[in-house]
Amino acid sequence: MTDKITLDFTLAQDEMVEGIAMASNALLLPWQRRVISVALLVMALLAGAGAMGLFIWAYTAATGGMPPFYIGPIVFLLVGGFGLLQYGMQLDWMSTRALACEDPTGTRITVDAAGIHVQTTHEDRRLGWPAVFQLTHGKTAIFMSIGGAAFILPNRAFDDPKAAFAQMQSWHTAAQ
């Protein structure tokens, strides 16, 4: 265990994408998350039904029968496929815009038992642990959800991300 964790980094797009997804999910109410999950399930079913319809049509045509061609499978495939791609496209668009606003000289974040200290060229901000309402370890980074935003701490900036996350969890829990 350490008394203080200090990180110097600039964010990469994959870290920003995951951070935006984590922050937006943390900000949604449980019923809103369910609505989005149902919508994505419907889009996946539409895309699957469209692909299956086209496969059946192609198989029947290849085996000698020529069924009438229906436009339904193509519409299902296009609508479902676009619906599934749209969420990823939105995250890419948002992350590109957010990275354009990032400080090119990087960010320094110091985390200790008292809280978080963020320093960039244009910002010097201190927050106590009670300001962090969710601490999550994702694939690319550790995320601190704070009042409508997320601090993204890339895994690559840590010597041992799992140990650092455990330490931050203990500080966060102690401050509650």
Query: What is d(CA 176, CA 172) in angstroms, rounded to the nearest whole number?
Result: 7
Residues 92 and 107 in one domain: no
Q: How many domains does the chain have?
A: 2
Residues 96 and 121 in one domain: no
Q: Which long-range contacts (CB under 8 A, 24 or more apart) does 15-19 make?
A: 15/140, 15/141, 15/152, 15/154, 16/95, 16/98, 16/99, 16/152, 17/91, 17/92, 17/95, 18/138, 18/139, 18/140, 18/141, 18/143, 18/152, 19/138, 19/141, 19/143, 19/150, 19/152
Where a domain ends, among 80, 101, 122? 101
Residues 66 and 113 in one domain: no
Residues 97 and 35 in one domain: yes
Where a domain ends, among 48, 79, 101? 101
Residues 31 and 96 in one domain: yes
Instruction: Give the pTM.
Output: 0.65
Residues 138 and 149 in one domain: yes
Q: Which residue has the higher pLDDT, 138 or 148?
A: 138
The CATH code of the domain that includes 122 is 2.30.29.30
**pLDDT tens readout for residues 28-87:** 666 777 777 788 788 888 888 888 877 877 887 788 776 666 677 777 777 777 777 776
Residues 74 and 48 in one domain: yes
Residues 76 and 129 in one domain: no
Residue 16 pLDDT more than 60?
yes
Domain range for 163? 4-11+18-26+103-175
Where a domain ends, among 67, 101, 135? 101
Residue 166 pLDDT more than 80?
yes
Q: Which two tokens stand for residue 99?
A: 């990275």
Residues 118 and 144 in one domain: yes
Residue 67: the pLDDT is 66
